Homo-oligomer: A and B are copies of this chain.
């Protein structure tokens, strides 16, 4: 379970992968996508995926660890693209803009990402208590910490604020705001703008 080669985001097509394994990975992902788009995430049962893909249940768990891992794998392409935009894309998301602007842009892009992927992302990010942090989440936390630090926030506060702000951008949080809480997309976006700027310009402790 801790074997790095089993983390899908880290080894999508590593050289030392057997041919049948690669074929089955593709079959499983196709089956999963098909089930989600036809019947929604809640219909994505491991057994259903196994039957649709024509493989055994064990095969899926071997590749993707668990249900959350499979769902993450479905989002992997987009998540990777998002990451690339952060590192090398055009400002204000990428480098070139000021830290406060980049922080705001990060949140707005993340909110759009959550809206786009909705329930899949929510289901994928429901965390196993005590499990290790997902690498994508860790990367985002680091990104925010660096942005805040370069905006003049002290290191301790930057570490806390990065984590707190990420919580506000969590799939479950954002979807609840848009659904249960009855906020419009514009309210969420402008609220985040306010919060992010306030955090970035906070006085050093």
Contacts and interface: CB of A to CB of B under 8 A. Distances in A.
A192 B160 contact: yes
A163 interface: yes
Interface stretch (A5-13, A14-22, A72-80, A164-172): A164-172
11 contacts: A122-B129, A126-B129, A130-B179, A133-B176, A156-B183, A156-B187, A156-B191, A160-B188, A161-B195, A164-B191, A190-B205
Given A160-B177, A167-B170, 12 more contacts: A119-B129, A122-B129, A156-B190, A160-B187, A163-B177, A163-B181, A164-B191, A165-B168, A190-B205, A194-B199, A194-B203, A195-B199
Copies held by the complex: 2
Contacts of A85: none
Nearest to A141: B181
Contacts of A165: 168
Contact of A157 (B130, B177, B191): B191
Contacts of A197: 202
B194 A157 contact: yes
Interface of A: 119, 122-123, 126-127, 129-130, 132-133, 141, 156-157, 159-161, 163-165, 167-168, 170, 172-173, 176-177, 179-181, 183, 187-188, 190-192, 194-195, 197-199, 201-203, 205
A53 B197 CA distance: 53
Contacts of A123: 129
